[in-house]
Amino acid sequence: MLFSHDTEVALQAAAALVNTADGPTERLPDVAALDEFVRIWGWTGRRRRTAAELQAVRDLRRWLRRLWVADRDQAVDMVNQVLREANAVPQLVRHDGWDYHMHATSPDAPLATRMAVEAAMAFTDVIRADELGRLRTCDYPGCGNVVVDLSKNRSKRYCDQVCGNRAAVAAYRARKLEAAGGQQAKAPGKTGRPRLPGTRAS
């Protein structure tokens, strides 16, 4: 394991949240969609279930995306600021079948604050290990989703299997074209990520 389990889950949850802002597609269109996201990623603590709570979580995605592409010093500034503003106090807790892990906010804090602090805490691990290079964006042209690469050999290039399969198909077609003596094979178009219905839960 590269990082502690809670850090790895927090990074993946943060990436999943960023990726709910999917180009023109809003994957958190309403409170019910947020409920589902919270359920999938095992968020506990108090919920408001209001439009304001939903909007705060949506707004957090922009900050997380900036954090994803920040250099080390910028990331440190962003993380420190969030931890300071949220008055984060790291505490070891154990609940709901999860072994000891860190909470740095009270369960009563607003959901978006808890999400921001959890991501910031995870980043404190990544930054100290000097592993920010594992947080990238998907290699599939036009996708733009963020990726957490926890693989041993740093080989994860695509946000999910949809992009991975598309890239494999494109590479296969390119090879066939070349083998057929055609002109230079074309890279996949920049028209955005094609969607297959029902391939993603969130």
Pattern 146-165, Zn ion, x by CB under 5 A: -------------x---x--
> For Zn ion, which stretch binds (CB under 5 A), given 9-17, 108-116, 122-130, 143-151?
143-151
In angstroms, what is the minimal distance from the CB of 23 to Zn ion?
A: 11
In 3D space, the residue among 157, 140, 139, 148 whose CA is nearest the CA of residue 191 turns out to be: 140
- Give 7 or 145: the residue with its C-beta nearer to Zn ion: 145
Ranges within 80-99 binding Zn ion (CB under 5 A): none
> Does residue 123 belong to the site contacting Zn ion (CB under 5 A)?
no
Q: Considering beta carbons, is residue 76 or 144 the nearer one to Zn ion?
A: 144
What is the C-alpha R_g of the chain? 19
Residue 122 is a binding residue for Zn ion (CB under 5 A): no
Q: Is 3 in the site for Zn ion (CB under 5 A)?
A: no
Number of residues counted as binding Zn ion (CB under 5 A): 6
Q: Is 138 in the site for Zn ion (CB under 5 A)?
A: yes
Q: Which stretch binds Zn ion (CB under 5 A): 15-23, 47-55, 73-81, 139-147?
A: 139-147
Determine, following the binding rule CB under 5 A, whether residue 145 of this chain makes contact with Zn ion: yes
If binding is defined by CB under 5 A, does position 7 make contact with Zn ion?
Answer: no
Buried b / exposed e across 106-124, counting CB within 10 Å, b at 16+?
eeebbbbbbbbbbbbbbbb
